[in-house]
Every structure is written in C-alpha cells, then in structure tokens.
Structure 1
Amino acid sequence: MKTKSLFLIAFFISSITCEPVFPQTGKIIDHTCVDLSKIPVEYIEAARNNLNVYFGHKSHGAQVSGGGMTAVMNYSNSYSNVFYYNNTGSGGALKMYEYAIYPPETGWENHIRNYLDNVDPGCNVVFWGWSYSTVTSGPGSGDENGKQNALDYVAAVQSLMQAYPDVTFVLSTPIAHSRRPRPEDFDAFPYDVYDRGTFWADSIIKSLP
C-alpha cells in the first residue's frame, strides 16, 4: 500500500528542487519511484514546509491520500513523523486540502480558478486524481466520452498553467482502464497512475500458478 504515495512524494520533492528525485525516470513519476531511502529527509521537510497542495479527487483518486500517504504514515513511527499531512497544515504538517469533484465535466477548471483566486491564493500545487467513471463513461471499453474527457482535461490544465505560472500542476494519467492522456502529452511532471496500475496487475498475473 505504501507504494501508492511514493510517486506523489517524489513529485513534491521535485517541486522544491526543480530536479527529478529519480533521474532514470526523467520527468515521469511511475512505478520505479518507490524507494523512500533515496529521498533525503531534509527534502521531505522542505516539501512539507513550503508546499500548499490542493488535491481534488473522487473514488480511485483517493488512493493517493487514504491508500498512499496515510499508509506510509502508518507503516512505522519514523515515517509518521516525517510524512504527516492535514487539510490546514497545522502542527507542522503538509497542507493538502482535499476536495471531491469530477473534472472536467462539472466545471473543474472554474472551480480551481475560484480556489486559487479567492479561497487560498497561497496554494502552490494543484493535483487531481482520475475517477473510474470519468474514463469509462458511456458504452464500450474505448468509448468516445472517455477520450473527450481526457482531451478536455489536458486543455483545462494547459489553460490553468498559463494563467497561474507560480502554481505547479501535477498532471495525472488515468487509471488502467484508459491510456489517455499519456505521459508524453504533458511537458511537465506527470504522475503516471496508468503505469502504476498496469505494473501491479502484471505482477499479480505473473505470480499466479
């Protein structure tokens, strides 16, 4: 379970240092970014003290926080003292405000603009986790609705990046039910959820008798 959050942690560190934590992966945070020992504690503390994160998600997207960050905190006392977070940043925690919303079909871009302009202008990282229904809406496995949602997502994030150059946007690929958008669609640090999902699925299949 702890692996789910390491991609996000690695991205947070990259946001502070402007360099990938794991050079072999370039700008893509994928299943190879899983070794906590490679992250200096001072980098983690810098991320916790300097980042103000907005995290929008529903269903599968919650794996990053509930199934990831929380799992790391519960893994050992040493991790709980380093990776702790909450919605307000109180007590020296990483501020990661979570909000349940489905973009882009429910006005996600406008919601983010309002959040950055009026709710928390100090927010400097925005991340949204894909939902199952967003990439699989409509009949069939490769439906046009899911593809259009991916295109709309890329367009919305690109527009936000231009409007808010001081905010770092974590660009996410969807869950393993869809390969759109792909990491190469972004000139940024994508969190490759698709890679993570297919990697673990392949590992399970290979372990079967």
Structure 2
Amino acid sequence: MKNCTRKLYQLFYLMLIFTLSSCTKDPVSSNNPEIFLPFDSSIIVNHNTININLIPDYWINKVRNDLHIAYGHTSHGSQLITGMSGLISFKGNQYRFNGTGADSALELRDNPFSGAYDLGNPNRTSWATATRNYLNNHPEINVVVWSWCGQVSTATNDDINTYLNLMNQLEIDYPDVKFVYMTGHLDGTGLTGNLHLRNEQIRAYCISNKKILYDFADIETYNPDGVYFGDKIPNDNCDYDSDGNGSRDRNWAIEWQNAHPGLWYNCSSAHSQPLNANLKAYAAWWLWARLAGWPGN
C-alpha cells in the first residue's frame, strides 16, 4: 500500500511540473508568429562582400551545379542581371548563367513569375501569391529573390512588417527554398529619411532572426574602396553632396571609374552608373556562393 501511495504522489508531482512548464510557454498566434530560422546566423550581403576574387573556384562551380534561382524585379532590380551579364566578359565564363542551366551555367530564371512585378507592384502582397503559385509548379527552384523598385521610400512600419511576415511564412511553408530579403534603393533622402528608417527595419529583422539579406541600399552607399557616402544624401544614381550645402554636385561612381580605368566594366545599369551594377553583380555572386555552402572566408 505504501509503495502504491508513493507512486501516486510521484505521478502527481510529474504531472504538476509538466502542467506548470506548459503554462509558461508563449503560444504561437497571429500576435506572436513562429519565426523561421534558416541558418545558425544571418547571411548579410552588402558593401563588405564585393571582393569576388575571394570566392574559391570550387564554390563558383558548386553554385552553377546546385542553385536554381527565380528572381522577380523591375528596373532597379535589373542591375543585378545586367551586372552579372557584363561580368562574364570581364571576369570569365565561369560566371555564366541562363534561364535553364544549359551548358553547365547557373540557372537563374529572370522574371518568371505571373501576377506581380516586384515587391510593391501591383501592390505589396501580390508577389507572395505569385511566389507560391510558381513554387507549386516548379519544385526544382531552391532560391527565390524579389527586389523593390521605389516602394520602400513610401512604406510605413506596418508595410514593412507585412513584407517580413509574408517572407517568413513562405520560409515556413517551403523549408527547402532559400528566400532572400532585400532593402530598397537609395532615394536621396539621407539618414533621416523614411527610406533609411525602413531599410534599418529590414536589416534589424534579418540580423535578429538569422535571415538572408541582400542589402541593395548599402551597396550603393560605398565606393569599392570602402569610402562612405551615406551622410551625403546619396541617391540611386550615385550622386552625392560633396560640400554639405544640401545639393548633390558630384558622383562617386563616375569619379571612381575615371580614377580606375580597367578595374571596372561597362554595362547597362538602370537609373545609375555601370560601377553600381558591377558591385551588384559581385555581391550577387557572393550571395550565391554563400547559399551554395561557402562559409564566406
């Protein structure tokens, strides 16, 4: 009898501990959504990740073998594509890509989605539905990238939260696909402007939640030597205010191009200078290599 009583007390005690521990857990709800953590740490691609010469050939080849990318964009986002196209002639055929992966090229499907053009066109949510429809019909895709046009400039805090939540839900629903977050291009409003605040919101979320970020705006804020122009109201054309009088009177990309002949290549660069698209291409290949497994060092 004593043994039975002792066992009953032990069982009651274990049940009590389980009940109390369960009560302390935060419920998963619309107010406290599950956060998908794709990596042990975030992957941030920005002006610090433009030295394409650091990427070993092994990982360039692995990118071409392993990645199947779908990329949705409008004009500003095309800088990655035109930059990558020019890179082939500038650096070599190992950087080749096309929409099918033919001839051992990287498979990068340029604007394959239906129903949306970028992250804000025709509205701020259609891209997510377009992504789902495409992935459901093309399960071979393992990387999805969408870029903004100018919509971050007018976005509210809630607008960006909508974007982040939609991306996170896609990661939950398609765990075998890597989704790349992106900031919006510079617009000349400087460090106190809404664009910078909303880009900072995206950056903070990606760092805190171990996401993959292609920091479009940050790449436009530094020249290849690491000189910072963010406090000089720079815009997407790489114009900046050199003397602090509030008027953009110089262009850091043109200045660098003129001072470094042979170290950059001419290519189309929507709304901007060739050097900007060069940097976008270098950063893109750094991103692809990281997604293929390169540790980045």
Q: Is TM-score (shorter-chain normalized) higher than 0.5?
A: yes
Q: Which amino acid aligns with 2:74?
A: K
* Partners of 1:124 and 1:160 in 2: CA distance: 12
- CA drift at 1:204: 6.4
Please identify which structure carries the higher helix content. Answer: 1
> RMSD over aligned Cα, in angstroms?
2.7
Per the alignment, residue 46 of structure 1 pairs with 62
* Partners of 1:103 and 1:34 in 2: CA distance: 24
Structure showing greater radius of gyration is 2
* Partners of 2:144 and 2:63 in 1: CA distance: 14
- CA drift at 1:27: 2.5
C-alpha spacing 1:102/1:52, structure 2 compared with 1 (3 Å): same
Alignment of 1:129 onto 2:141: no
C-alpha spacing 1:84/1:19, structure 2 compared with 1 (3 Å): farther
Count the aligned residue pairs: 175
**Residue of 209, 215, 220 corresponding to 1:192:** 215
Q: Percent identity of the aligned residues?
A: 29
* Partners of 2:222 and 2:152 in 1: CA distance: 19
Normalising by structure 1, what TM-score?
A: 0.74
94-103 vs 147-156, greater mean Cα deviation = 147-156
> C-alpha offsets along residues 129-187 of structure 1, whole Å, 9 cap, x if unaligned?
1112x223xxxxxx4x4554433221211110110010001111111232324322112
Unmatched segments (≥5 aa) in structure 1: 1-14, 21-25, 137-142
* Partners of 2:156 and 2:148 in 1: CA distance: 11
**Residue of 18, 24, 27 corresponding to 2:43:** 27
Q: Which amino acid aligns with 1:29?
A: V
Mapping of 1:157-176 within 5 angstroms? 157-176=167-186
Q: Which amino acid aligns with 1:166?
A: D
Unmatched segments (≥5 aa) in structure 2: 1-37, 188-194, 230-237, 244-249, 256-297
1:62·1:129 contact (CA, 8 Å) conserved in 2? no
Normalising by structure 2, what TM-score?
A: 0.53
**Residue of 86, 89, 98 corresponding to 1:86:** 98
